[in-house]
Each structure stands twice: as structure tokens, then as C-alpha cells.
Amino acid sequence: MIRFIIRRLVLLVPVFVGLTLLVFTISHVLPGDPVKLAAGPQATAEEIASLSREFGMDRPLPQQYWHYATGLLQGDWGQSVLTRRPVAADLKIYLPATLELVFAAIFLAILIGIPAGLISAMTANRWPDYLTRILSLASIAMPRFFLALVLQLIFAMSLAWLPLNGRFPIIDLPPPTITGMLTIDSLLAGDWLAFTTSCEHLLMPALAMSLSPLATITRMMRASTLDVLQQDYVLAERALGLSQSLIILKYVLRNAFSSTLTVIGLYIGWLLSGSVLVETVFDWPGIGLYATKAIVTQDFMPVMGVTLSIGFIFVLVNLVIDLLYGVINPKVRYQ
């Protein structure tokens, strides 16, 4: 197992280098001049040149990349041309909010999707299976922002059960910042009232984001379970007289879940990069809104920071998925 982990960690090095090179190249060859935009329409050529030297944009691209890459190793993610704020400081504020939203959405999708897929497979071609498949197709087809608006209209405006938007009430004191995720910080601080309040604000946006992965996980789990149920060892266990619940929970679930792990890992990266619509509807202060504002103003340093952070998290999540594969299926460790 140790050799398996070492091999995966070594492979991360060229992936990270390639990711930084790709993001840097794309952001610098696109049309537009953020220095002119930051300097303003009344800036002179001397002022633009001075600002360009200040941010190192007058150097050749290889030198700019080397300066940027070495800065990343030291924790320096660059500086916003417009706000003059360090990108790392902004990501420290906005990234935990998006991570909290994404992890809550994935948790809901797994919590509901795995049992739903099992039930659908166990009742194949009967009404629970048909109902699950119809709801899954409808969930994939429904846009997330539309569901977000519907949830707001029903649970916030009509029933007044949940808050309309935001992460925490402005008039209340949030828990001490430890991880930046309000639910976890509330638990670490032992503040159950803050935990309940943060969960109330988190529920609707997480539910809106979980709809598509929930449907995919359900369908993937159904297909994998049906495939495993046809294996010889499952037929032998039934012939030995083992109970259906024991066969499902001890033998079928573990083997069927392995293929679903890939979908879960992919969806985490997809939700991180596609959270802007839900964040906009619920006024959620995450990296989606942060990146959108930077793109509009052609401020490429924050865009690069957001892209790299999403890429790093996506790669690390897939590393965890690979390790979980090794736990579920020991044969994977020796490949």
C-alpha cells in the first residue's frame, strides 16, 4: 500500500507543473490588457509602462512564468492588478465558502443516491425502479439555477422556513474562523446555535447543486449493482441460502460502489468550476463570484489563482479516489 501511495504522489508532480504552465500560457495569450484597464482611460503611456513594470508584465513570458512558478512554491499566488490585494488572501476568504457548498452537495448526493440506486436495482422493472429512473432523468435535465429559484420561492418566500440567501445573518456573530467553513467552525467552537444557523443557510444552495450528481450517482449505482448481481459469486451465495440483505450489504455494495467512486471524484471538480450560478442566486460569497468579477475586468491573476486552486483540489480528490480504490479492491494496489 505504501508503494501504491508513493507512485501516485510522484505522478502528481508533472501534473501540477503542466497545470501551472497551461493556465499561465492561456491567460497571457488571450486578448486584452489588464494593465491599461487598471490604469484607467486617462492614464498616460508612461503611467501604463510604470504599472506594467510594477507587476512584471514587461518581461518575456518565460521569465514571467518562472517568477510566477517560484512564487507559488513560496505561497505567493500573485497580486490583483485592480484591487492590489494578494490573490492568496482572497482565495483564503472565498475558497472555503465554495468548498463547504460543494462538499455539502456531494454529501447529499451520496446520502440519497447510493440507497436510491440500490433500491432501483433490487426492484428492477417495477414501479420503484421506474419512479427512480424518471426522477433521475428529470433531475439531470433541470438547470441548477432554475431549481435554486424554485427553492427560494417555496421555502424562503412562501413558507419562510429557510433564509433567502447569504451564509450567515449579518446581525449575528459568526463562529471563530478556523477552517473558513462555518459549519465545521461552529462544531469546533461548540456553538450549536451557529451550527444550526449555518446549516439553514447551506441547505437550499447545497440541494440545488446536488441534483445533477444525485441523479448520476443513482443511475451509476443502479447499473453497477445490476452487473454485480449477475456475477457467479453472488449466485453461489444465494444458492448457499444467505439472506438477501447480507448479500447486498456485505458483498454487492462494496463491489458496485467502486465504479461510482469515479463519478463522485469527477463531480467534485465539476461542481467547483460550475458553482457560479448557484452562488449568484443565493448571494453565496465563493470563488465562482470572485472569478466572474475578475474575468469581466480582465484581471488574470485572480483567474489563474481560482483555476489553479480548482485544478489542485481536483487532482487531490482524484488521488483520494485512487487510494479508496486500493482500499475497496486490493488488486488495484499492485497495478
* Cα 139 to Cα 102, 109, 132, 263, distances in angstroms: 17, 12, 10, 16
Question: What are the extents of the domains in the chain?
Answer: 2-73, 91-164+208-334
CATH number attached to the domain at 91-164+208-334: 1.10.3720.10
pLDDT of 164-215, one tens digit each? 888 888 888 888 888 889 999 999 998 899 999 999 999 999 999 998 899 8
Q: Is 298 left (phi over 0), alpha (psi -120 to 50) or beta?
A: left
Predicted pLDDT of residue 205: 92
Predicted pLDDT of residue 31: 64
Predicted pLDDT of residue 30: 66
**CA distance linking residue 192 with residue 196, whole number of Å:** 6
Q: CB–CB of 202/104 below 8 Å?
A: yes
Q: CB–CB of 19/311 below 8 Å?
A: yes
Residues of the chain with pLDDT under 70: 1, 4, 30-45, 47-48, 51, 54-58, 326, 329-335
**CA distance linking residue 321 with residue 52, whole number of Å:** 43
Predicted pLDDT of residue 98: 92
